[in-house]
């Protein structure tokens, strides 16, 4: 396992222990960075207009198209670290 992957896994565990729940925009950012870092570019169909949460998550993830998985992992790590303070 690479050092980046180990730090990504630790940030994922740390994200569940944050001192306060992040706001919705930050949660969307965390979700999109996690998905981009884990899976890569967004796949599948965009959820329908009645699925507000699913659509927001998909759109946030799709906005990162082209960002490498390593860049997204580092972004996720940095975001979680900033939230721990």
pTM of the model as a whole: 0.93
Provide the percentage of residues in the chain whose pLDDT is more than 90. Answer: 95
Question: Rounded CA gap, 1 and 77, in Å?
Answer: 16
Kindly report, residue by residue over 9-35, the tens digit of the pLDDT. 999 999 999 999 999 999 999 999 999
Q: What is the mean pLDDT of the chain?
A: 96
Mean pLDDT of 68-81: 98
For residue 65, the Cα-to-chain-centroid distance in whole angstroms is: 13
Q: Residue 5 above 80 pLDDT?
A: yes
Structural domains in the chain plus CATH codes: 3-83 (1.20.80.10)
Burial class of residue 4 in the structure, from the number of CB atoms within 10 Å of its CB (0-12 exposed, 13-18 middle, 19+ buried): middle
């Amino acid at each position: 396992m690479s050092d980046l992957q180990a730090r990504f896994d630790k940030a994922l565990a740390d994200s569940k222990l944050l001192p306060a729940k992040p706001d919705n925009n930050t949660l969307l950012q965390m979700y999109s960075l996690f998905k981009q870092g884990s899976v890569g570019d967004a796949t599948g169909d965009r959820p329908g207009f009645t699925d507000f949460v699913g659509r927001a998550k998909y759109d946030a993830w799709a906005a990162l198209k082209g960002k490498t998985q390593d860049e997204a992992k580092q972004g996720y790590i940095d975001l979680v670290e900033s939230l721990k303070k």
